[in-house]
Structure 1
Amino acid sequence: MKAYVHNAVGGPDCLRLDEVASPICGPSDVVVENRAIGLNPVDWKFIEWGHEAWSWPHVPGVDGAGVIIEVGAEVRHLSVGMPVAYHNDLLRPGSFAERTAIPARAAIPLPVGLPFEVAAAIPCPGLTAAQALAKLPSRPGARILLTGASGAVGGALLQLAGSRGWIIHAVASASQHARVKALGAAVCHDYRDSDWRRELTVNGDSRPFWAVIDLVSGAHAASLASLIAANGHLVCIQDRQETAPLPAFTSTISLHEVGLNALHGFGTDRLWSELVAKGQSIADSCAQGAFDPQLIEVVTFEDLPAALQRLKDGPNPGNRVVML
């Protein structure tokens, strides 16, 4: 089959299109004939970093969508011909290929007729957003601060949080404020404005937020901890808090880390079943026009490395997808 591979770490330009052996279907796997590939920041980051578990040449890519063409001997809930989307374990050969073997428990069955380019944009952004929201109890009327709100995960978070009754303050560039508000933000702040943090005092309250969901970095998240009300929550989607950002026995906030790929190694079948159910719900909402997949670019397989470079360079107000 055709696949993009690399023999060493580097940028997207180190990828080359090559002929490689088709994947072997393990007993708890399915093989998907890919119709679309979702591009995510974790793709170019691990192409740069590499991993000790990889063998070379390595096929990268975590997200894809297509049709099941082979089912492992132990798999009972999936069958050949089913359309699915998936988030694959980044330690395995990935989605930048015509076919990919994935853990069957990670396959998200798709509604009939959902375009594969839409389906491929769901797994990493949608399931990461679902993970982040699962950290927070329901509290209608609570104020939430969301940084990096205009990206793919931020947009998914805004849409999934819509039914929770939160008042969401979104941090994004001014050019994206109208779109971010359309996705569910109540208030927008421009991070390019040097005084944007001064706007975060609400009605004189210096700790106005029940939760902060940060998509920038661990250090950035820590810098916002003082804005969180007592017994509130700090959710990190990029990095995590290695040390407590506030003194002990002060506002006693709870710290949360989010890592979708970690669940391939540590998640139970039940947890994956819950995640897949959330992915199915998002896919159904996309099919009904109730969830915006935020597609900003759909390109051909031949343009994959260049699209991945554009993802790395940014900005990325949504998802970039490759069609096969």
Structure 2
Amino acid sequence: MALAYFLSVILAMEVMVSGYRFGEAGGLSMNYYIMTCPFAESVIKDIVNRALQDDPTVAAGLVRMHFHDCFIEGCDASILLDSTKDNTAEKDSPANLSLRGYEIIDDAKEELERQCPGVVSCADIVAMASRDAVFFAGGPVYDIPQGRKDGRRSKIQDTINLPSPSLNASELIRLFGQHGFNAQEMVALSGAHTLGVARCSSFKSRLTNVDPNMDSNFAKTLSKTCSAGDTAEQPFDPTRNSFDNLYYNALQRKSGVLISDQTLFATQRTRGIVNGYGLNQAMFFLDFQQAMVKMSLLDVKEGSNGEVRNNCRKIN
């Protein structure tokens, strides 16, 4: 397994090189801040590392924040903007109320503003913080191009496009396909659920009429969780703070927490991918990092299409 992982890292480096060329063509680059803020990456990495040492559960929050940012308006830190009296922002959508890690982004931005004011975008901080969270949780090593600008729009109505926990595999494939991802990339990105928990309100509908795709003993586990109320939490897999492939093993046991999890194994089109990742963690890591780099490039804003916010919570 150690050799397989090493080989996956080497292959990932090759993938990152091609991603680098693609990024440069789009105005992004791996060394975007080398002259203007050379310690940007190390500042973010250190702050994320300290935060995870204090609270390992926040890794899931940072990864989910990046995903929810990129799927709405592209990777432009729109998820960080606070609501105003004239506008209800994305973060106040019911789909985003459980997001965590905003204070980590604030801390990184504050330190970077001290070192190199007006240089590092909040969008880049979110993307790098998510990457670092995966690494510190034991996941794959990968790099992403930088140079994203921050958006000026954040509206609650846009969050209707976020994936619902009740979607089936066909609906997920269609939704992710609208953002340029194929079925395999969708299943790989779903593996981010190896980190974190789901609240009872997200899966209790499976217990009313017991889901035939759910193991009966696991159904009892979920029922026990929900006995504590809608905000009670159930880990997606047994190692909620470790990035591994046990999420897929849980799906193979019919112990996926959400409908949108278990459907990946219940559906013929995606079952083979789940089985592959459940058997080969190195393969999952490689596919996940490639998909994450691709996601980090969704509809990025450059030049006058965006800005570098002084405060991640409000436009300049």
Q: In which range does the TM-score fall when normalised by the shorter chain? A: under 0.3
Choose between structure 1 and 2 for higher RCO, CA contacts under 8 A separated by at least 6 residues.
2
Report which of the two structures shows the higher radius of gyration computed on alpha carbons. 1
Q: TM-score, normalised by structure 2?
A: 0.26
Q: TM-score, normalised by structure 1?
A: 0.26
More helix, by proportion:
2
